[in-house]
A and B are shown apart, each in its own frame.
Chain A
Amino acid sequence: MERLTRREMLRLTAGGIAAWTLGAPRWSWSAPASDPYAAARIDWRQLAGERIHILVTPAHYFTKFRAITPEFTRLTGIEVTFEVIPPREMREKAVLDLSARTGNYASHTADPMYLPLYAVNNWVEPLDLFLNDHKLTDRAWFDLEDIVPLWRRHNTVRGRLWGMPVEGEVTIHIYRKDVYDQLGLRPPETLDELRETARRAHAPARNLYGLALRGFRGAGQNMYIWPSLFRAYGGQWFDHAGRPTVNSEAGVRALEYYVSVLREFAPRGVENWNWPEIMEAFAAGTVVQYIDANSTASVIENPAKSKVAGKIGYQRWPKGPTGKRVTSIWNWAMPVNAALPARKKQATWLYIQWLASRPTQLRSATFKEAPDAVVRTGVNRMSIWRDPDYRRVIAFTPDYADVVLTSLREDTDADWRPRIPEWPEIGEVMAIAIQEALVGRKTPKQALDDANAELRRVLRR
């Protein structure tokens, strides 16, 4: 290796710094000619100097949000700091903070299923307090009605909105188009046909498995997928008197379906799989199909991360015996912690408003926080979903965006899972029952009978 003289070294360093400085503006986001935030008729700087601390998960969309948050600080003078923790631990920390009323976290990425619990304890503020404050919100500019209606309904308890959707998803059927074509299979219309395609494509000797669904125990894991089957089979969570009815015939048949397809066609160990394991197995080409969040598309369609990019088909959930397709409903909801002083609450609202606004959502959708960054597939605004530019970015297949939009519009309702304060315990009881049936510790009927008795005890009904 040639030795550099000191002079050469200095020259190189200086050149490097110059190149970096000149190049920098191209990497960072450049503001459009007319500032979209200036159009809002509020004083963005009214709370300059405030500091807020927010708890988020490490998901890629929050990484993007965090990366562009300095823009918010420049706009408002409000400083935002983050704490990043995986979902399960994040939820526990949030609940501890809220229940102790310590006010550590001005806001956090809440699970909408927890909003009834938050609301009944008055741990968070109803957002209409801020939405209807003309000093804080320009309703016309913010355009609340543009935010995906189903997500808003999901975050509404007793007629009031408690958390602002900033990102969301639906579950859809994702399959290997090339394998389907090879075998002459048609995308399944019903759950029975889905089982048939799994049977036909299942080839464990070639390390290719027919189907995978979440098997890991948890209110947000197996209890995020199985409820769709339960509802598609006609299951109801409660009877007219509010007593739990998960062990109805529909429930038992839905669990039998889930257990039998996974035991026959899923890779061994699926009972410990959550969505990352499923997505990775699919990306590695060892699973023919799965039903899970549409957001996994941005990873499995990324050639750097997936062997099967470009060979994938997407469609809505197959229909159950009732003729209904039922998808899941999910969004990350941002509430305002009720334990904060008034000015911090307002500052938090300004941040939430900024984050959920159209310009921020649009910009963060394709923001590259890292060279291998993926695109957001869960923007919260209908107008962006209809925007041709955005649709081009997420056109993994010509109909991907329509599959997602139609699922969101037609295939579920806000009460897909029981939205009551006791949800954390209900979710846990059901998750255990589903997993016990899956691993064969109990029959589906036994598991659900026991779970129903347990739910009656929990709910005292």
Chain B
Amino acid sequence: MRPSRIYPSPGEGPAASAELPGAVPGGRALPRLDREARLALLLVGPSLAVLLAVSTVPLLVLLGASLFRIELTRPWVGGFVGVANYAAMLEDVRFWHSLQVTAVYTLTSVALQLLLGLAFALALSAVVRGQGLLRVAVLLPMILTPVVVGLVWRTLLLTPRYGLLDYLSILLGLGSHSWLGDPRLALGAVIVMHTWQWTPFVFLVLAAALAALPVEPYEAALVDGATPWQRFRFLTLPLLRPAIVTVVVIRLIIALRAFDAIYAATGGGPGTATEILNLYAYRVAFNSLNLGYGAALTTALLLFTLGATVVFGRVRGAVEASP
């Protein structure tokens, strides 16, 4: 799965690199390699330049902006302030609050998606007929644009008295609630909304992984008289582990960057009850027009996402390394 297993890395010595076509040891082969490298650079160059221009340059501009004081409401102040914007975060109650909301939102929704996605995948793997149709049906939420999801949930599903889910809640004797307006319920509601939309993704990956599992261990387990739970616990789960870790990493990154659905459903409210860090950074930059501080907040979010990715990357490495 990892490139290093297919292509030898440079560190593996001359014997390994000799396997590369054209890379004969000795100085005479070098000019040819250079020529190829030049051609490769020529071919890749333009797209590389475009990539740098649209991804790396804005990132550098963002990092730079986070070190300046740029407030459009006060054009007369400004200038280089070093890490002052980052220091300001330490005292910013709203920042810490948004961080907390982000953590709860991300961890809860990813955990729920994993549980539900795995359950669906297992349940569906037992279904023999109509699997294709079921899969399409399950995938529908993921195909919708997050803004549309936010609006649909806000209006059709959660509107007090008229929304479908509120109606169900009344039928179940739980009463009518302002799901997106009650600070105790709003965060839960957007977590459920996010889970509804992204569980299909988890399901898709895990269902594919399940279908690719080898049958032999299961036959052996059956012969040994293993119970279904034992087969799940000691066979399916360990075999699925790489897929689970991968899907969790991808979901974490996307959940940390969530924006559109919450923006459309609650706008971060009531008050700041559902204001995740991304939304707060956006408000600081584009609403309060404090671009320097907004850039610093965005950089912080970037670092958190990067941190999560690195941590899970390590976990994944460990998982793959284990027999």
Contact = CB atoms under 8 A, between A and B. Distances in A.
B75 A441 contact: no
> Which of B154, B178, B290 has most A Cβ within 10 Å?
B178
A105 B176 CA distance: 46
B73 A425 contact: yes
Interface string A59-81: 00000000000000000000000
A426 B57 CA distance: 33
Contacts of A428: 283, 287-288
Contacts of B287: 424-425, 428
Interface string A404-440: 0000000000000000011111001000100110111
A422 B290 CA distance: 10
A252 B59 CA distance: 44
Contacts of B289: 95, 99, 117, 424-425
Q: Is the interface of A mostly helix, strand, loop or mixed?
A: helix
Interface residues of B, number: 29
Contacts of B75: 120-121
A439 B290 contact: no
Contact of B178 (A92, A216, A217, A268): A268
Contacts of B161: 267-268
Interface string B133-160: 0000000000000000000001000011
B73 A271 contact: no
Interface string B272-287: 1100000000010011
> Which of B72, B176, B271 has most A Cβ within 10 Å?
B271
Contacts of B182: 439
A310 B216 CA distance: 78
Interface string A76-103: 0000000000000000100110010000
B262 to A, nearest CB: 13
Given A117-B73, A432-B271, A439-B182, A424 B288 contact: yes
Contacts of A441: 183, 270-271, 273
A95 B294 CA distance: 16
B270 A269 contact: no
Interface in B24-56: none
A435 B288 contact: no
B290 A271 contact: no
A218 interface: yes
A270 B74 CA distance: 35
B199 interface: no
Contact of A217 (B73, B74, B267, B286): B267
Contacts of B268: 217
Given A117-B72, A425-B288, A428-B288, A440 B269 contact: no
A272 interface: yes
Contacts of B290: 425
A279 to B, nearest CB: 15
Interface residues of A, number: 32
Contacts of B288: 424-425, 428, 458
Contacts of A120: 73, 75
B156 to A, nearest CB: 14
Interface in B238-273: 266-273
Interface in A192-244: 215-218
B180 interface: yes
A269 B159 CA distance: 7
B8 interface: no
Interface in A369-426: 421-425
Contact of A272 (B176, B180, B272): B180
Q: Is the interface of B mostly helix, strand, loop or mixed?
A: loop
Contacts of A458: 288
A215 B154 CA distance: 15
B316 interface: no
B231 interface: no
B181 interface: yes
A449 B271 CA distance: 15
Contacts of A424: 73, 287-289
B271 A268 contact: no
A120 B76 CA distance: 9
Contacts of B180: 269, 272
B286 A271 contact: no
Contact of A121 (B72, B159, B178, B273): B72
Contact of A439 (B154, B177, B267, B270): B270
Contact of B74 (A218, A269, A421, A438): A421
Nearest to A98: B72
> Which of A215, A268, A269 has most B Cβ within 10 Å?
A269
Given A425-B290, A432-B271, A441-B273, A272 B73 contact: no
Contacts of A432: 269, 271-272
Contacts of B286: 92, 95-96
Contacts of B270: 217, 271-272, 435-436, 438-439, 441
Interface string B45-89: 000000000000000000000000000111100000000000000
B24 to A, nearest CB: 55
Nearest to B290: A425
A267 B160 contact: yes
A272 B72 contact: no
A442 B161 CA distance: 26
A215 to B, nearest CB: 8
A215 B181 CA distance: 10
B178 A271 contact: yes
A341 B75 CA distance: 23
29 contacts: A92-B286, A95-B286, A96-B286, A99-B289, A120-B75, A121-B72, A121-B75, A217-B269, A218-B267, A267-B160, A267-B161, A268-B161, A268-B177, A268-B178, A270-B181, A271-B269, A272-B154, A272-B178, A272-B270, A422-B74, A423-B73, A424-B287, A432-B272, A435-B269, A435-B270, A439-B183, A439-B270, A439-B273, A440-B183
Given A271-B269, A432-B272, 10 more contacts: A92-B286, A216-B269, A217-B270, A272-B154, A272-B181, A421-B74, A425-B73, A435-B270, A436-B183, A441-B183
Interface of A: 92, 95-96, 99, 117, 120-121, 215-218, 267-272, 421-425, 428, 432, 435-436, 438-442, 458
- The 8 nearest A-B residue pairs measured at CB: A436-B271, A425-B288, A268-B160, A271-B181, A439-B270, A269-B178, A269-B160, A217-B269
Interface of B: 72-75, 154, 159-161, 176-178, 180-183, 266-273, 283, 286-290
